[in-house]
Amino acid sequence: MTFQVYDTTLRDGAQREGVSYSVVDKLAVARLLDEFGVGFIEGGWPGAVPKDTEFFRRARTDLDLNHAVLVAFGATRRAGLGVDNDPQVHGLLAAETPVVTLVAKADLRHVQRALRTTAEENLAMIHDTVTYLVAEGRRVFVDGEHFFDGYRDDPTYTSSVVEAALAAGAERFVLCDTNGGMLPSQVTAVIADLTARLGVAPEQLGIHGQDDTACAVANTIAAVEAGVRHVQGTANGYGERPGNADLFAVVANLQLKLGLPVLPAGCLERMVRVSRGIADIANIAPDDHQAYVGAAAFAHKAGLHASAIKVDPLFYNHVDPQAVGNHMRILVTEMAGRASIELKSRELGLALADHPEALNRVTKRVKDLEAAGWSFEAADASFELLVRSELPDGAPARPFTLESYRILVEHREDNAVVSEATVKIRIGGERMIATAEGNGPVNALDEALRVGLARHYPELRDFELADYKVRILEGSHGTGAVTRVLVETADGAGRDWTTVGVHPNVVEASWGALVDALTYGLDRART
C-alpha cells in the first residue's frame, strides 16, 4: 500500500495554546504544506466549526493543490440518530473533500461514560457512518481516539472497533495515542499483538502521536518500523498540551534514516522554509533548537567539533543540512580554537586561513574579549569587523569619529519620560552636532546619530533598529557587573545583522554596538 503522510496542523495543531488561525491563515498554511509535499491536509471540522466550514468553501476556489488532497474531519453519527439525519455527517459531505476522517471512540470506558452509550451501539455508529460515506464516494480514514489506553484496558473490545471500521470500508484505521502516554517499545508490542489478533496487515493501520512523554516522533517511527504506512503529525509539533508528533522530524527521519521516499522528489529541501513560514503565520517564534529545521540544528560551538568538520562536515553532522534546506553554522565563543575561527571566517567569505598570523591574532582577541564578557555567538557582524581589522585589506573605515555624546532623561509633569541625546562627531574634516529625542536613552542616541550622519550617508534611511537585547553579566575578580548589548539592524532589502557591545555602562555598551551596526551596514550597502 502507498505510504501516506497526513498533516493535521489546521485542526489538531490549531489546538495549541495561543494559536488562532483565520480562514486566510488556514489557506496560506495549506499552500505551504502542499508545497512541502504532504499527501493529506486535514482542514478542520466543517459543520461544527463555522470558520472551518468557511475554509472548505473558500478552498474550492482559492486552493490549487499539486500534491495534497484536502480532508474534512468529523465524528461518527450520534448515538440513537440515523446517519441520514445527522447534521454533522451531512456537514462532512457538504465540504466536498475527496477524503473524510472520522473520530471514533476506541476505549470502552469512554464509550460508556463519555458517549453514554453501549459497546454495540458504538460499533454500529462506526459501521453506519463509514458505510454511508464510502457509498457517497468518499475515501474514509478512522481515527481511533484513546486507542492505546483502550487496548491496554480491554484489547478485545478495542480490537473490535478496528475490525468494524475496516470491515465497513475504511481505508486506514489510525491508532491514536490521545493522551500521549506511550513509549516506543509499547507501540511496537501493541501493533504486533493487534495484527496477530485480527489477522490484518499493519499497512492498513496509521499512527497519531501526542508528545506528553516527549516520544511522539519516536513512537511514530516505531509504528512505521512495525509496518504501519500512514503517519499523522503537525508542522513544528504544534498541538494541545506539549503538542503532536512534529511532522518535519517524522518525515526527515523516514526519508533520510529509513530510506523511505515519503515525499515527492525535491520537497524535503523546502522543509526549513515551510517550517518558518508556518511559524510566522501562527505568530510563534521558531524554535532554534528544533531537530532538522532549527537555526541551531547544525550549529557547532566546541573547538573539537570544528577541527573535525574541517576534515569532513559529516564528522559532526548526522545528515547534510542542505538535505532539509538548512545550513551548518560555526559559533564563535570562548570555546573556539583556530579551527572554529577559520571555519567561521570562511562562512563569512573571509580567507583567514591564508593569513596564519592574522588567524592567531583573531583567535587570541576573541578569547580575550569573550573572557571579558563579549559574545560573538550571535553577533556575526561584529565578528566580521574584528576579522577584517586583522587582514591586510583592513576593516571598513569608520563612517565618523566621536567627539562626545550626552544623554538627558526628563520626567515631565504629565508623567511622560523622554530621553534627549546630543552627539558631536566628525565626518572627514566636518564637525557635526545633532540632537534628537527618543523613548529611551539608546533610542535617542540612535536617532541623534542618524540625524548627524544623514546628509553624508543617505543609505541610513533604510536602516531600522529591529531588536535590542541587554544582559547583565556578573563581574569577576571583585569587579562590578558588566553589561552586554546585542543590537539587530535591518535594511530595506530584507537583510539583517547583529552587533555586540560590552561595557559596565549600558549606554556605552549600546553605543559600541550601534557604531558597529552602522559601520557594517554602510559598508555592505556600498559594496
CATH classification of the domain holding 266: 3.20.20.70
User: 18: burial class by Cβ within 10 Å (0-12, 13-18, 19+)?
Assistant: exposed
Say how far apart CA 130 and CA 168 lie, in whole Å.
6
Asked if residue 290 belongs to a domain, the reply is no
Do both 469 and 452 map to the same domain?
Answer: no
Top mean-pLDDT range of 308-312, 358-362, 400-404: 400-404
Percent of the chain with pLDDT over 70: 93
Predicted confidence at residue 464, as pLDDT, reads 86
The rounded distance, in Å, linking the Cα atoms of 474 and 482 is 6
Report the alpha-carbon distance of residue 220 to residue 500 in Å, rounded: 43
At residue 254, the 3 state secondary structure works out as helix
Grouping H, G, I as helix, E, B as strand and the rest as coil, residue 327 is coil
Query: Of 112, 109, 240, 249, whose CA–CA distance to 180 is shortest?
Result: 240
Q: Compute the distance between CA of residue 37 and CA of residue 31 in angstroms, rounded to an integer.
A: 10
Distance CA 79, CA 36 (A): 39
257 and 306 share one domain: no
For residue 278, pLDDT beyond 90: yes
Torsion angle of C-alpha atoms 15, 19, 24, 29, degrees rounded to 10: -70
Q: Is the pLDDT of residue 475 over 50?
A: yes
142, part of any domain: yes
The more confidently predicted of residues 380 and 172 is 172
- The Cα 486–Cα 375 span in angstroms is 9
Which helix (H) or strand (E) segment holds residue 152: the answer is: helix 147-153
Q: Is 512 helix (H, G, I), strand (E, B) or coil?
A: helix
- How confident is the model at residue 314, as a pLDDT? 60
pLDDT at 367: 78
Task: Give the domain range for residue 336.
Answer: 299-390
Task: Work out the angle at residue 326's Cα, subtended by the Cα atoms of residues 30 and 305, and round it to the nearest 5 degrees.
Answer: 150
What pLDDT is stored for residue 354 in this prediction? 80
Residues 234 and 313 grouped into a single domain: no
Retrieve residue 203's grid coordinates: 499497512
Last residue of a domain, one of 413, 435, 456: 456
**pTM for this model (two decimals):** 0.73
pLDDT at 122: 97
- pLDDT for residue 425 is more than 60: yes
The pLDDT value recorded for residue 192 is 98
Find the CATH number of the domain harbouring 492: 3.30.160.270
Q: Which residues pair with 473 in a beta bridge?
A: 482
Q: Helices 380-390 and 338-347: crossing angle, nearest 10°?
A: 100
- In 251-262, which positions are buried (b, 16+ CB within 10 angstroms) versus exposed (e)? bbbbbbeeeeeb
Residue 136 sits in the same domain as residue 10 = yes
Final residue of a domain: which of 390, 409, 429?
Answer: 390
- Examine residue 289 and state whether it is found in any structural domain, yes or no: no
- Find how far residue 276's CA is from the centre of its chain: 5
DSSP string for 352-410: GGG-HHHHHHHHHHHHHHHHTT---TT-HHHHHHHHHHHSTT-PPPPS-EEEEEEEEEE
pLDDT level of residue 357 (50, 70, 90 thresholds): confident
Q: How confident is residue 313, by pLDDT bands cut at 50, 70 and 90? A: low
Residue 288 lies in a domain: no
The DSSP H or E segment spanning 126 is helix 119-135
- Whether the CB-CB separation of 485 and 500 falls below 8 Å is answered with yes
Indicate whether 328 belongs to any domain: yes
Q: For the chain, what is the domain count?
A: 4
- Whether 423 maps to a domain, the answer reads yes
Same domain, 140 and 76: yes
| Strands 230-233 and 299-300, bridge-based pairing | unpaired
Dist CA 406 CA 424 (whole Å): 9
Grid cell of 133 as nine digits: 460515506
pLDDT at 304: 47
pLDDT at site 477: 45
Residue whose C-alpha is closest to residue 142's, from 191, 78, 74:
74
Q: For position 478, what pLDDT does the model report?
A: 43
pLDDT band at 164 (very low <50, low <70, confident <90, very high): very high
Q: How many residues does the chain have?
A: 527
**DSSP 3-state helix, strand, coil percentages of the chain (rounded to 5)?**
45, 20, 35
List, for residues 46-99, the tens digit of each pLDDT value.
988 899 999 999 999 999 999 999 999 999 999 999 999 999 999 999 999 999
Whole-number pLDDT of residue 341: 74
Query: At a CB cut-off of 8 Å and minimum separation 6, what does 442 contact?
Result: 468, 506, 507, 510, 514
- What does the pLDDT read at residue 198? 97
What is the percent of the chain where pLDDT is above 90? 63
Residues 197, 62, single domain; the answer is: yes
**Between 50-62 and 87-94, two packed helices, what is the crossing angle to 10 degrees?**
20
CATH code (residue 422):
3.30.160.20
When the pLDDT of each residue in the chain is averaged and rounded to a whole number, the result is 89
pLDDT class of 26 with cuts at 50, 70, 90: very high
pLDDT in tens, 102-151: 999 999 999 999 999 999 999 999 999 999 999 999 999 999 999 999 99
The helix (H) or strand (E) run that includes residue 422 is strand 417-427
State residue 147's pLDDT score.
98
Cα distances (Å, whole numbers) of residue 137 to 78, 165, 172 = 21, 16, 16
Rounded to an integer, what distance in angstroms lies between the CA atom of residue 455 and that of residue 461?
10
Q: Clarify whether residues 374 and 423 are in a common domain.
A: no
Same domain for 102 and 230?
yes
What are the counts of helices (DSSP H) followed by strands (DSSP E) for the chain? 17, 16
d(CA 510, CA 514): 6
**417 and 354 part of one domain:** no
Q: Of 357, 390, 423, which closes a domain?
A: 390
Residue with cell 457538504: 94
pLDDT value at residue 210: 98
Is the model more confident about 120 or about 491?
Answer: 120
22 domain residue, yes or no:
yes
Q: How far is CA 275 from CA 213, 243, 267, 316, in A?
A: 23, 15, 12, 24
Q: Tell me the one-letter amino acid at 175.
A: L
Cα-atom radius of gyration of the chain, to the nearest Å?
A: 29
Is 511 among the domain residues?
Answer: yes
Which comes out higher in pLDDT, residue 306 or 242? 242
Do both 224 and 354 map to the same domain? Answer: no
Per the model's pLDDT, the better-predicted residue between 405 and 342 turns out to be: 405
Average the pLDDT over each of 26-35, 49-58, 330-339 and give the range with the smallest value.
Answer: 330-339
What is the reported pLDDT for 286? 86
Confidence check: pLDDT of 250 > 60: yes
In this prediction, residue 123 carries a pLDDT of 97
CA 343 to CA 313: how far, in whole Å?
A: 11
The mean pLDDT value for 507-525 works out to 90
Residue 365 shares a structural domain with residue 414: no
Amino acid at 23: V
The answer to whether residues 367 and 270 belong to one domain is no
φ/ψ of residue 520, rounded to 5 = -65, -45
Burial tier of 49 (Cβ tally within 10 Å: 0-12, 13-18, 19+)? middle
pLDDT of residue 525: 82
Query: What pLDDT, on a 0 to 100 scale, did the predictor assign at position 316?
Result: 66
Q: Can you give the pLDDT at residue 257?
A: 97
